[in-house]
Structure 1
Amino acid sequence: MRLLFVALVALTLAAAVGLGSTWMTTTRGTEFGTLTIGAWTARPRIGTVDIDPYSRATITRNGELPIGAGDGIAFAATRDDKKKPLDGRCDVVVSGVTPAARFWTLTLYDTKGHLVANTLQRYGFTSEEVVRGADGGFEIHIAPRARAGNWLPTGGIERYALMFSLYDTPVGVATRNRRDAPMPTVATMGCP
């Protein structure tokens, strides 16, 4: 009887640890196969058959539809280049140039993965509509109050994420650093 009790306790403990670790990896993600350049992080293998099982479980749980490896790559940022969390009450500037791509989008999401509601119904910019400088670079201001030029309203939410998707680009599994893919900088300029 004692052996049966010990076996049940061991199985219960193993099931709790297994289910707990699975829940944590599907809700918080994993670092397997990630590519980090400045504030931007991507998982180049997520749209391939080489996807790791944890990323596959996360996609299934969240109902995401990842960009296929032949189509492009998606980078996310929840912190600026100095590792400060992106705060919708602060002024943040995304600036610079982008890696070679036929088309790109920069979109603003809340922490639950929903578009940030605002009265202008502006949720992002594309490579075709962003206003650029003479050198080809751009500045996108992400702030609660209106700014001249490229501006994304945050609505003053506390935390948000930026999704930078590159389509028809050579950036992917073989990319290792900023020299291979010159990503825009993300800088917090000030908070009220």
Structure 2
Amino acid sequence: MRLILLSLLALAIAAATGLGLTWTTATRGTDLGTLTIGAWTARPRTGSSDIDPYARAAIARSGELPIGTGDGVAFTATTDDSKKLLDGRCDVVVSGVTPAARFWTLTLYDTKGRLVPNALQRYGFTSQEIVRGVDGAFEVRITSRARAGNWLPTGALERYVLMLRLYDTPVGIATRTQRDAPMPAINTVGCP
């Protein structure tokens, strides 16, 4: 009888551990196949048949539709370059250039993956509409208060996520460094 109880206890512990770890990796993700350049993170294999099982479970849980490897790659940022969480009450500047791409978008989401509501209905910029300097660099201000130029309103949301999607780009699985893919800098320039 004691052997049966110990076996059932061991089985219950193993099941709880397995289910807990599965839930954690499906909700928080893993670093398998992750490409990190500055504050930007991408998982280039997500849109391919080489996707790892943890990323596949996270996509099934979230319902998101990843960009196919042949179409491009999506980078996300939840912190600035100093590893400070992106705060909608602060002034954040995304500046510089993007890697070579036929087309790109920069979009602002809340932490649940929804567009951030605002009166202007401005949720992001595309490579075709952004105002650039003579050197091709751009600067996007992400703040709760109106700014001149390229401005994305946060609605004073406490936390948000930036997503930079690069379409028809050589950036992908073989990319390793900032030199391979010059990503825009993300800097917090002020907090009230």
State the SS of the aligned residue for 1:15: helix
Alignment partners' CA distance in 2, 1:98 and 1:134: 15
CA displacement, residues 7-50 of structure 1 (integer Å, 9 cap, x when unaligned) = 11111110100000011111111111100001100001111111
CA displacement, residues 104-155 of structure 1 (integer Å, 9 cap, x when unaligned) = 0000000111100101010000000000011000000000000000000000
State the SS of the aligned residue for 1:10: helix
| Aligned residue in 2 for 1:70 | 70
| Aligned residue in 1 for 2:191 | 191
User: Equivalences for 1:91-110 in 2 at 5 Å?
Assistant: 91-110=91-110
| Aligned residue in 2 for 1:127 | 127
Gaps in structure 1 of 5+ consecutive residues: none
| Aligned residue in 1 for 2:36 | 36
Alignment partners' CA distance in 1, 2:177 and 2:54: 24
Alignment partners' CA distance in 2, 1:85 and 1:133: 28
State the SS of the aligned residue for 1:23: helix
How far did 1:87 drift? Answer: 0.2
Does residue 171 in structure 1 map to residue 171 in structure 2? Answer: yes
| Aligned residue in 1 for 2:10 | 10
Alignment partners' CA distance in 2, 1:27 and 1:98: 29
* Amino acid across the alignment from 1:165: R
How many residues are paired up?
192
Alignment partners' CA distance in 2, 1:4 and 1:165: 55
Alignment partners' CA distance in 2, 1:147 and 1:38: 25
State the SS of the aligned residue for 2:188: strand
| Aligned residue in 1 for 2:80 | 80
Alignment partners' CA distance in 1, 2:120 and 2:41: 28
Root mean square deviation, CA, Å: 0.5
Alignment partners' CA distance in 2, 1:154 and 1:21: 34
Does residue 60 in structure 1 map to residue 67 in structure 2? Answer: no
How far did 1:84 drift? Answer: 0.4
State the SS of the aligned residue for 1:189: strand
State the SS of the aligned residue for 2:21: helix
State the SS of the aligned residue for 1:173: coil
| Aligned residue in 1 for 2:142 | 142
| Aligned residue in 2 for 1:160 | 160
Structure 1 segments of 4+ aligned residues over 2 angstroms from their partners: none
Gaps in structure 2 of 5+ consecutive residues: none
How far did 1:100 drift? Answer: 0.4
Alignment partners' CA distance in 2, 1:132 and 1:32: 35
Alignment partners' CA distance in 2, 1:144 and 1:22: 37
How far did 1:71 drift? Answer: 0.2
Alignment partners' CA distance in 1, 2:48 and 2:117: 32
Alignment partners' CA distance in 2, 1:18 and 1:122: 43
State the SS of the aligned residue for 1:82: coil
* Amino acid across the alignment from 2:118: N
| Aligned residue in 2 for 1:90 | 90
